Chains A and B, each alone.
Chain A
Amino acid sequence: NAGVMQNPRHLVRRRGQEARLRCSPMKGHSHVYWYRQLPEEGLKFMVYLQKENIIDESGMPKERFSAEFPKEGPSILRIQQVVRGDSAAYFCASSPPTGGDNEQFFGPGTRLTVL
């Protein structure tokens, strides 16, 4: 009974490179959420997706950031032309389809370091 999976767990990029973060939700979950957490700070909502749909991206920076959740495969958070300020922990969470418990369960996170 695998939980939410994220990879890679640690990612190092130089300024200007692309970072690609992956998230596979729990079995039976169709909703995926991405959050960013800076050291000693709370979780900041970025985007909420269902299969092939972006439902709410109000927390996503307007430039360089994009997310998708294709029909097959994991959800991907992509950060283009990374800058030092993108260094953070990025957490993915998933929840069951609407109508059931709406609790979100988190993956282990990807720690992004931009050099």
Chain B
Amino acid sequence: QKEVEQNSGPLSVPEGAIASLNCTYSDRGSQSFFWYRQYSGKSPELIMSIYSNGDKEDGRFTAQLNKASQYVSLLIRDSQPSDSATYLCAVTCNFNKFYFGSGTKLNVKP
């Protein structure tokens, strides 16, 4: 059974701070890793994808992957109240079937 684990939160950070979201996965064969943002009542929106060890930056977002530790994280710099949402980690090992974590709820306080 492939598992993707996330802390459900809520994670509360003040506006302007760095939010750090973490995800661990059980399948060592996993090859692709994704972060989605989901606002309440809306559909998931792709934020970042990462395929190799290290960091990948896109604007205020940085994804970090450590395959040896089976760990992927998302950092959000200069957090804004509009970043308040649930963040879903997704993992795939065969480029098709995605396994999603249950999500971490982020609260950015003005």
Stretch at the interface among B54-62, B68-76, B77-85, B96-104: B96-104
Q: Closest CB of chain B to A19's CB: distance in Å?
A: 18
B27 to chain A, nearest CB (A): 14
0 or 1 for each of A27-60: is its CB under 8 Å from B? (1 = yes): 0000101010000011111001000000110100
Q: Per-position contact with A for B32-49: 1 when CB-CB < 8 Å, else 0?
A: 101010000011111001
Q: Shortest beta-carbon distance, B108 to chain A, in Å?
A: 20
Give the contacting residue for B44; candidates A31, A43, A102; CB below 8 A.
A43
- Assess whether B45 is in contact with A56, with CB atoms less than 8 Å apart: no
Q: Which of A41-93 contact B (CB under 8 A)?
A: 41-45, 48, 55-56, 58, 91
A107 to B92, CA, bound (A): 20
Query: Nearest chain A CB to B63's CB is how many angstroms away?
Result: 13
Identity of the chain A residue whose Cβ is nearest the Cβ of B32 in the assembled complex: A102
Tally of contact residues, A, Cβ under 8 A = 24
- From the candidates A42, A43, A98, A106, name the one contacting B95 in the complex (CB within 8 A): A98
Give CA–CA (A87, B39) in the complex, Å: 20
Query: Are B103 and A104 neighbours in the complex by a CB distance under 8 Å?
Result: no
| Complex contacts, A43 vs chain B, CB 8 Å | 44, 88, 98, 100
**Which residues of B lie under 8 Å from residue A33 when comparing CB positions?**
96, 98
Contacts A104-B46, A107-B43 known; A42 to B102 CB distance under 8 Å? Answer: yes
CA distance A56 to B102 in the complex (A): 21
Given A31-B96, A98-B95, A102-B92, A42-B45 contact (CB < 8 Å): no
Interface residues of A (CB under 8 A from B): 31, 33, 35, 41-45, 48, 55-56, 58, 91, 95, 98, 101-109
